[in-house]
Amino acid sequence: MSSPPSGAGGGLGWANLGMDIVSVTRVRRLLAEHGEAIFHKMLTDGELADCRVDVGLEPLGLCGRIAAKEAAFKTLRVRDRVLPWRDIVVRRSDGGWPVVELRGTAAELARRAGIAEITVSISHDVDYAVAVAAPVPHTAPPAIAPLTTPPTASASTRA
């Protein structure tokens, strides 16, 4: 009989990818049933501002932020902890890509895991938003030597 997985983390921090997907239908239902108040429990004022359009909160933007927070939390490989929603902050950079800021409990969990920061990518479609997160360790993984390009035949015959 095989033993169950230990669930005790996943090795070196840089190998612990996180991924999450969030349904637009579910977020729209939450907005309809609870209004914006429910999202104040998960998102900071700045995050909500990034998701705001003329008619209110944009569901795809909310989905992307929620998926990114979940994906970032998964990179920490902790058990028996509730996601510290407002301690993982996902903002839009000046260039438009998402940036993760870790605060409070999330920053402490990352420090213990040897993670300096978390990078994330978010993608949206009509019905879903998905995010993939990768931790950046305090100590970078071993450097890989750059590839060299062999000289072309014409370059080697010029001499």
In a domain, 147, yes or no: no
CATH of the domain at 85: 3.90.470.20
pLDDT at site 12: 52
Give me the number of domains the chain comprises.
1
Binding residues for Mg(2+), by number, are 20, 70
In a domain, 6, yes or no: no
Binding residues, by number, are 20, 70
Count CA within 13 A, CB hemisphere, residue 62: 27
Q: Can you give the residue range of the structural domain that contains 90?
A: 13-141
In a domain, 69, yes or no: yes
pLDDT at site 29: 97
In a domain, 5, yes or no: no
In a domain, 65, yes or no: yes
In a domain, 149, yes or no: no
In a domain, 154, yes or no: no
pLDDT at site 143: 62
pLDDT at site 91: 95
In the beta sheet, which residues pair with residue 89? 101
Q: Which of 1, 8, 4, 63 is nearest to 30 (CA)?
A: 63
Secondary structure class of 22 (helix, strand, coil): strand
Q: How far apart are CA 60 and CA 19, in angstroms?
A: 17
In a domain, 75, yes or no: yes
Blockwise average pLDDT, block size 10, the chain, 159 residues: 43 75 97 95 96 94 97 92 94 93 96 93 96 88 63 53
